[in-house]
Amino acid sequence: MDQTLDIPSSNGRTIAAHAVAAIVQQIETSIADGSWPPGFQLPTERLLEVEFGVARNTLRKGLKRLEDAGKIVRHVGRGSFVADLPASGPSDAQLLLDRVVGSSPAEVMEVRLLLEPWAAALAATRATASDLSHMRHCVSSAALETDIIGFELWDEALHKCIVAAAKNGLLAGLYEAINMARQQPEWIKLKARTTTPERRARYHAQHSDIVEALGERDPEKASDLIRSHLLAVRFSLVGF
């Protein structure tokens, strides 16, 4: 740190204002470049007066400004210290993920009803032969499962494959975040309580019809079928 401040010549009030600003700037620089890390005790006011070449009153104005800005903390009888860095809160992405995972089944289904019919329409024209083969495998594998957990895993895989076949990375990312709610234990328990053998058979038939429409390259039909399927799922989960 410079031993004296470079203060422009002017009247007394202007000189004092420049001196205060220079003190603030130099201390902020020492904090920013790591010379004075969080918790570092600043030199005594007497030493700072000499180092900056200013009067005690001017120095205290600069320190007060730094304290008000949260850059330093001052304790009577102990001195001044560089403030600790503010605790970093969760990122926006983490907050969004927490919100998605904590969403109710009704909220999840409302968003799925917006995204998946659109995804199915895109997939009808963009799905590759490999995509369609994977979808058919999901449908046939789900039919062989004897418990709801196994069926739900293949059900989830089918819907993810349809969204992936839309070939839209942003859509796939949004769906992946939303789909995390379905992986929560509460969701599985709800599906186990509400998915009767009759409903499971209906879902299987609906899945088969959806994949067939995708294979026929019929966007409107595929979109309508997956919307009807999701409405049936929503009714079984939340009753409307």
pLDDT digits (tens, 9 = 90+) for 76-95: 878 899 998 765 666 666 67
Task: Mark whether 133 and 224 lie in a shared domain.
Answer: yes
Structural domain ending residue among the three candidates 63, 82, 101: 82
Q: Is residue 4 part of a domain?
A: no
Structural domain ending residue among the three candidates 39, 55, 82: 82
CA distance 137 to 19: 76
pLDDT exceeds cutoff 70 at 9: no
Task: Mark whether 112 and 145 lie in a shared domain.
Answer: yes
Task: Mark whether 133 and 70 lie in a shared domain.
Answer: no
Residue 210's pLDDT is 98
CATH number for the domain that contains residue 74? 1.10.10.10
**Total tally of structural domains belonging to the chain:** 2
CA distance 111 to 105: 10
Q: How many CB atoms lie within 10 A of CB 35?
A: 12
Predicted confidence band of residue 97 (pLDDT cuts 50, 70, 90): low
How far from chain centre, in Å, is Cα 138?
30
Residue 19's pLDDT is 83
Residue 121's pLDDT is 98
CATH number for the domain that contains residue 158? 1.20.120.530
Task: Mark whether 43 and 115 lie in a shared domain.
Answer: no
Q: Is the pTM of this model over 0.95?
A: no
Residue 166 phi/psi, 5-degree rounding, is -70, -15
Task: Mark whether 48 and 167 lie in a shared domain.
Answer: no
Q: How many CB atoms lie within 10 A of CB 13?
A: 8
CA distance 120 to 115: 9
Task: Mark whether 43 and 73 lie in a shared domain.
Answer: yes
Q: Is residue 3 part of a domain?
A: no
Q: pLDDT per residue over 31-89, tens digit each?
A: 888 888 888 899 988 888 888 888 899 899 999 999 988 899 988 878 899 998 765 66
CA distance 183 to 211: 23
Residue 12's pLDDT is 59
Task: Print the domain residue range for 77.
Answer: 12-82
Q: Is residue 6 part of a domain?
A: no
Q: pLDDT per residue over 142-195, tens digit each?
A: 999 988 888 888 999 999 999 999 999 989 988 888 888 777 777 778 888 888
Q: Is residue 5 part of a domain?
A: no
Residue 90's pLDDT is 64
Residue 74 phi/psi, 5-degree rounding, is -120, 135
- Mean pLDDT, the chain, whole residue set: 87
CA distance 1 to 210: 72
The better pLDDT of the pair 232, 177 is held by 232
Task: Mark whether 71 and 137 lie in a shared domain.
Answer: no
